[in-house]
Amino acid sequence: MAAATQAEEILHKNQYVAKVIPIQVRKDTRGVSRSLPEDPFESQYGDGGIVEPPYDLFTLAMMPEASSELGPAIEAMVVNIEKLGHRIVPRDGMRKGEEALSPQVKSERAKVGNFFANASLEPNQTFTSLRESWRYDLETTGNAYAEVIPFMMTGEPAGLKHLPSWQMRLRKEDDEYTEYNVKRTVQQDDGTWKIETFPYRKRFRRFVQIQEKKTNRVFFKEWGDPRDIDSRTGEEVTDEVRGRDDWSDEFLANEVIHLKLYCSRSPYGIPRWIGNLFTIFGNRAAEVINYTTFRSNNIPAMMLLATNVQLTEASIERIQKFVEERIQGDDNYSTILLVEGEPIAEGMKDPGVMKLDVKELTQVQHTDALFVNYMERNDDKIRRAFRLPPIFMGRADDYTRATADSSRKVGEEQVFRPERNHEDAIWNQTIVAALDAANVLFRSNTPDVTDNYELTQLLAVAERSGGPAH
């Protein structure tokens, strides 16, 4: 309910841009609250140098809590992209066997492998669990941030840390260009690989993290920025600052790798499901209505019809007490209410027959959930935003083996593998290149989608036709 309440009002900044904001009510006749705003960066947008995200990131981060379909869809992305693990492979000679690898390749493979095996400096946390956190942030808010912790002496990457995406904001790009060197792996004329540096100019930006209802901020610099940045102020460290007695290299800002789902109108990313925002709210409202209907039993199981009968005051009080204490719960389905009445024949020419009738209403009670078709269509919309076959959401009732295998292959080819390849390229162009490892690559593991039955049939046909059986 919290996410739906905070995102209840959608205001259009212009005809193209919509922003989810919390409702705030203020009256000129009263003082204003002194509490911090819902978005801790609210006062720093614009002239404060911080770029405002297109949607409230804290609200986006809570959306999986308000949707029964969004959470499983995000979890399917996490499991099939990140949880399969990784390996470090030689760039060449992958099919030649271990004995064909040169000492240089083995040395680089060990160096890169050791980094990722110990990338997390937190106890009970692995690089795979770090990737899970980044992927969850990426699919929830459209942004993910990896802090690169360096060795103080060499500057090489020493570890990685997850930064919660809803706490991070981007500052505006610098007005001036900064010259820096980009490390890339290139192939030489003799077929060997080498790390070379290429000069480049770029307008860097900085990042800032602030926690809710806290005034302390921490600044980070963009990956590749060669300048020394003060983590307390976000400003470049000058020789004058270094000469102060209160300066220490511990104040230097670390680099951040920003992963995002591209948005054409903002330097931030936006989640895949943002077009289904009202779909999620609609599902939530339908579920709340169903829950309230079930708990309140707003259509009673029976009705008491009184003819020529005046209920006594005691009966009226008993009915009122019964409704207030028992009717709004699911324990009243088999409860009996006893009432007593008095005849009202006095003064009437033909009073008729005095009677109390009980009319059963169970046939008009809700026998199933409301808005079932509406919610099913909404679930399909959310799933389609991720382009996930239904089997990945646990819907395998109507699946045959053939359709299940086809769905797995489609999901792997169209969704998961491209995402893995994109993420692998980021790690290879950043961390692996920074470790000067030209002969190895970071590769995410892939699932086995081979149909063993079809493979054995193919080999059998080949053997009968005179082909090799191995």
pLDDT in the model for residue 363: 63
pLDDT in the model for residue 17: 38
Mean pLDDT of 310-317: 76
pLDDT above 90: residue 220: yes
Mean pLDDT of 128-134: 95
Q: Let me know: does 222 contact 205? Beta carbons within 8 Å.
A: yes
* Residue 25 confidence class, pLDDT cut points 50, 70, 90: very low
Tens digit of pLDDT for each residue in 361-376? 666 556 666 787 888 8
In DSSP terms, which residues pair with 311 in a beta bridge?
341
251: how many CB neighbours lie within 10 A of its CB?
15
* Residue 332 confidence class, pLDDT cut points 50, 70, 90: low
Tens digit of pLDDT for each residue in 137-195? 999 999 999 999 998 888 899 999 999 999 999 999 999 999 999 999 998 888 889 99
pLDDT in the model for residue 290: 79
Number of H helices, E strands in the chain: 13, 17
Please name which of 359, 274, 315, 234 lies closest in space to residue 7, comparing C-alpha atoms.
274
31-35, 192-196, 393-397 — which one is most confidently predicted on average?
A: 192-196
pLDDT above 80: residue 359: no
Mean pLDDT of 116-135: 92
Please name which of 401, 449, 444 lies closest in space to residue 425, comparing C-alpha atoms.
444
* Residue 226 confidence class, pLDDT cut points 50, 70, 90: very high
Mean pLDDT of 282-310: 74
pLDDT in the model for residue 453: 61
pLDDT in the model for residue 466: 64
pLDDT above 90: residue 430: yes
pLDDT above 90: residue 346: no
**Beta-carbon contacts of residue 399 (< 8 Å; ≥ 6 apart):** 390, 391, 407
Which has the minimum average pLDDT: 196-205, 402-411, 430-439?
402-411
Tens digit of pLDDT for each residue in 447-469? 876 666 666 666 666 666 765 55
pLDDT above 80: residue 253: yes
CA 135 – CA 300 distance, rounded (Å): 48
Count of all residues that appear for the chain in the document: 470
Tens digit of pLDDT for each residue in 64-102? 998 889 999 999 999 999 999 999 999 875 556 677 788
Give me the chain's average pLDDT, please.
Answer: 80
pLDDT in the model for residue 47: 59
Mean pLDDT of 373-399: 83
Which has the minimum average pLDDT: 155-164, 258-267, 391-400?
391-400
pLDDT in the model for residue 4: 45
CA 117 – CA 113 distance, rounded (Å): 6
* Residue 329 confidence class, pLDDT cut points 50, 70, 90: low
Break the chain into its structural domains and give their ranges: 2-283, 300-364
pLDDT in the model for residue 12: 38
Mean pLDDT of 392-414: 80
pLDDT above 50: residue 2: no
Higher pLDDT, 341 or 125: 125
* Residue 26 confidence class, pLDDT cut points 50, 70, 90: very low
Residue-wise DSSP of 96-165 = S-GGG--HHHHHHHHHHHHHHHT-B-STT--HHHHHHHHHHHHHHHSEEEEEEEEPTTT--EEEEEEE-G
CA 284 – CA 63 distance, rounded (Å): 10
pLDDT above 80: residue 352: no
Q: Count Cα atoms within 13 angstroms, Cβ side, for 219.
A: 20
pLDDT above 80: residue 103: yes
